[in-house]
Structure 1
Amino acid sequence: MGSVVGSAVYQSGRRVEDVEIERLDIACEAVPPEPGRFVWIGLFEPDEGVLAKVQRRFGLHDLAIEDAHNAHQRPKLEAYGDSLFLVLRTAQLLDGHVRFGETHIFAGRGHVVTVRHGSSTSYAEVRGRCERTPRMLALGEIFVVYSVMDFIVDNYFPVLHVLETEIDELEDRVFKQRTTLADIERIYELRHELMTIRRAIHPLGEVCARMMRFDTPLIEERVQPYFRDVQDHVLRVVEAVDSLRELLTSALEANALFASLRQNEDMRRFAGWAAILAVPTAVAGIYGMNFEDMPELKQSWGYPVVLATIFTICGVLYWRFKRAGWL
């Protein structure tokens, strides 16, 4: 069945056998009452038929199954009797943009079912890591839940590292005043992606806090430090996202400031040249009024004197504006 990417029975931290969905009732007939035995099933975008089989075998709640089939849920933790249902958001960097997916986890006595939707890294690495540490896997179903959560949260760090490198390059172009319209558009895209990352990861802090409380089924006191570690990673991701968003905000403010300064410089330059050009314009306008009694009008040296006066005044104005930094 194409949607089933992994299905195996574990006993005391070791893999006992692989099992098909159709044989769940036979392979898992010892679950529970035999301690330390559980089945771990991994599904990728399963259809209703596969989910119905899993639901019938493990008695999963209708509302949780509906959420797992439809996806598009916010991160959360819900308890249905002695079983847990978790919704986690995953993130991957594809073609320079952050793509999000969802992972739903059903965990109860004798079973763990992970359901992946959308953009998400395969959990084969998580399964292999757990199988290489049978002592930890012997903790049971809750260790699998921890391992998947830890893997999802840790996968945010490479994404943020790549975004941080790009943001540093954008910030460098801003301060070198080499930004283009495409750079400004990319800054707004990054701000939106970072906000989406924050919305995806921030609720996991509360999920971890609830996992560490004694009122949550399946979780013993000895495994609570593991979820405290996941919570610490969540806080680090949130802090990194907030820092990057502040950098982008500062870059936008700096770009706006530089644009304002350039505009002021252009306005001063225009004002300086307008003042210089006003001198010949005013003199020419006065002498163009065709009055008979005007200074030096009938003198042979009147024309060159007026021109010399214009050039002298314009030269003095140009020197003063240049000295003041307006030109």
Structure 2
Amino acid sequence: MTKPLKLVSDPPEAPPGVVASAVYVGGRRVAEIPIEDVGEWSKKPGHVVWIGLHEPGLDLLRRVQREFNLHDLSIEDALKAHQRPKLEQYGEALFIVARTAQMLDGRIAFGETHLFVGHGYVVSVRHGASTSYTPVRERCEADQKAFSEGEDFILYVILDFIVDNYMPVIETIQAEVEAIEDCILAETTTSTQVPRLYQLRRDLLRLRNAAVPLVEVCRRLEQPGLPGIDPAMSPLFRDVSDHIRRVQEEIESLREVLAFAFETSLMTGQAQQTEITRKLAAWAAILAVPTAVAGVYGMNFQHMPELNWRYGYALVLAVILAVCGWLYWRFRRNGWL
């Protein structure tokens, strides 16, 4: 006997870790359902169950596993949340791992999204730094015609949302790099900017490692034969691949700019040190003249040159000033002072 639908206006209280658990028919949300009923609803023709989880515990994942008969290895991967982006097929179910990224306190914070996709259901599991998928759900519900395509459309919009969120991270880093470049070209580099350049370059490398493997994931999704994936969705997954390649190009371009800025900052620092060394050497040469003359007259010999001459002291000072002045003029002319 079919269980009565529970109205959206009176949803069941979600357990910890469950963001949303809803069933859709023809792209329209018809009910909020408890985890214990999702398996039964997903088997109904034309029904799609979409469950959103956030950092669930093992007990919750086991409950979801029992409902959809998910593989043990995929549950183990979804619990640990330290996976490389990939797509695995376990029977009639797909397990997909994607890395998410967002800026937090000037650093790129990475998270993970694990997706279980099968006939009549999609389970999204978020870990770490990740934007809520509520806007994705709202976007799908607003486009009921496209949403009626089923679980493969949900998979597409989630992957597209993840990839689109890479761009604000890149734009934020790009703005900071441009500001640092202006400081370097203006020769106002601070001691904290060089480590920051290295830090940004390392973060961009991690972002590239998180984004680029999704190209292979989307390539496999484009190929026919995967359960729950309609071949008509291939252009959409190809579009996601194009976005990832654009992200990759932006990352490579930024890393080159950072490498240039890093080298330029080092060269600027070396040039500033060389300039300071030149000035010190020039002043040392100028001060060596009075030091040498004073050293001669400080030797306490009985017969000193010009010792008893009335104008000897003035003449020595005049010679010292003249030589120092000539040296200063020469160094200034050569750009050392």
How high is the TM-score relative to the length of structure 2? 0.89
Tell me how far apart the structure 1 counterparts of residues 230 and 246 of structure 2 sit (CA, whole Å): 25
Q: Which residue does 1:13 correspond to in 2?
A: 27
Given candidates 38, 41, 48, the residue that maps to 2:48 is: 38
Percent identical? 52
Asked if 1:224 is matched to 2:238, the reply is no
Give the alignment of 1:154-193 within 5 angstroms: 154-193=164-203
Q: Which residue does 2:42 correspond to in 1?
A: 28
Q: Which residue does 2:5 correspond to in 1?
A: none
Tell me how far apart the structure 2 counterparts of residues 154 and 147 of structure 1 sit (CA, whole Å): 10
Deviation at 1:292, TM superposition (A): 5.2
SS in 1 for 2:192: helix
Give the alignment of 1:248-259 within 5 angstroms: 248-259=258-269
Q: Which residue does 1:326 correspond to in 2?
A: 336
Cα deviation 1:265-314 (Å, max 9, x = unaligned)? 11111111111122222223333344555543443333322222221111
Cα deviation 1:134-182 (Å, max 9, x = unaligned)? 2212222111111100001101111222222222222222222223223
Q: Which residue does 2:92 correspond to in 1?
A: 82
SS in 1 for 2:52: strand
Given candidates 60, 63, 72, the residue that maps to 1:50 is: 60
Q: Which residue does 2:12 correspond to in 1?
A: none
240-249 vs 204-213, which moves further: 240-249
Cα deviation 1:52-81 (Å, max 9, x = unaligned)? 121112111100011111111111111112
Q: Could you tell me whether the CA contact under 8 Å between 2:136 and 2:161 is conserved in 1? A: yes
Tell me how far apart the structure 2 counterparts of residues 168 and 42 of structure 1 sit (CA, whole Å): 38
Tell me how far apart the structure 2 counterparts of residues 95 and 289 of structure 1 sit (CA, whole Å): 66
Give the alignment of 1:109-148 within 5 angstroms: 109-148=119-158
Tell me how far apart the structure 1 counterparts of residues 314 and 66 of structure 2 sit (CA, whole Å): 107
231-240 vs 132-141, which moves further: 132-141
Given candidates 290, 295, 302, the residue that maps to 1:285 is: 295
Flag as ranges the 4+ runs of structure 1 deviating above 4 A: 290-295
Deviation at 1:40, TM superposition (A): 1.2
Indicate how the Cα distance of structure 1 residues 43 and 152 shifts in structure 2: closer, same or farther if over 3 A, else same: same
Tell me how far apart the structure 1 counterparts of residues 40 and 263 of structure 2 sit (CA, whole Å): 64
Aligned amino acid, residue 217 of structure 1: P
Tell me how far apart the structure 2 counterparts of residues 46 and 289 of structure 1 sit (CA, whole Å): 87
Cα deviation 1:106-130 (Å, max 9, x = unaligned)? 0111211111111211111111111
Deviation at 1:209, TM superposition (A): 1.6
Which runs of 5 or more residues in structure 2 are unaligned? 1-14
Q: Could you tell me whether the CA contact under 8 Å between 2:95 and 2:115 is conserved in 1? A: yes
Q: Could you tell me whether the CA contact under 8 Å between 2:42 and 2:121 is conserved in 1? A: no
Indicate how the Cα distance of structure 1 residues 314 and 157 shifts in structure 2: closer, same or farther if over 3 A, else same: same
Tell me how far apart the structure 2 counterparts of residues 231 and 71 of structure 1 sit (CA, whole Å): 23
Aligned amino acid, residue 182 of structure 1: T
Cα deviation 1:177-227 (Å, max 9, x = unaligned)? 223223333323322322221121111111112222235333333111101
Q: Which residue does 1:233 correspond to in 2?
A: 243
Aligned amino acid, residue 103 of structure 1: T
Given candidates 245, 262, 273, the residue that maps to 2:272 is: 262
Indicate how the Cα distance of structure 1 residues 306 and 120 shifts in structure 2: closer, same or farther if over 3 A, else same: same
Cα deviation 1:232-284 (Å, max 9, x = unaligned)? 11111122222222222222212111111111111111111111122222223
Tell me how far apart the structure 1 counterparts of residues 290 and 38 of structure 2 sit (CA, whole Å): 98
Give the alignment of 1:307-318 within 5 angstroms: 307-318=317-328
Tell me how far apart the structure 1 counterparts of residues 290 and 240 of structure 2 sit (CA, whole Å): 76
Tell me how far apart the structure 2 counterparts of residues 94 and 49 of structure 1 sit (CA, whole Å): 30
Aligned amino acid, residue 38 of structure 2: L
Which runs of 5 or more residues in structure 1 are unaligned? none
Deviation at 1:231, TM superposition (A): 0.7
Tell me how far apart the structure 2 counterparts of residues 268 and 248 of structure 1 sit (CA, whole Å): 30
How high is the TM-score relative to the length of structure 1? 0.92
SS in 2 for 1:272: helix
Deviation at 1:88, TM superposition (A): 0.7
SS in 1 for 2:227: coil
Tell me how far apart the structure 2 counterparts of residues 272 and 261 of structure 1 sit (CA, whole Å): 16
Aligned amino acid, residue 127 of structure 1: R
Give the alignment's Cα RMSD to 1 decimal: 1.9
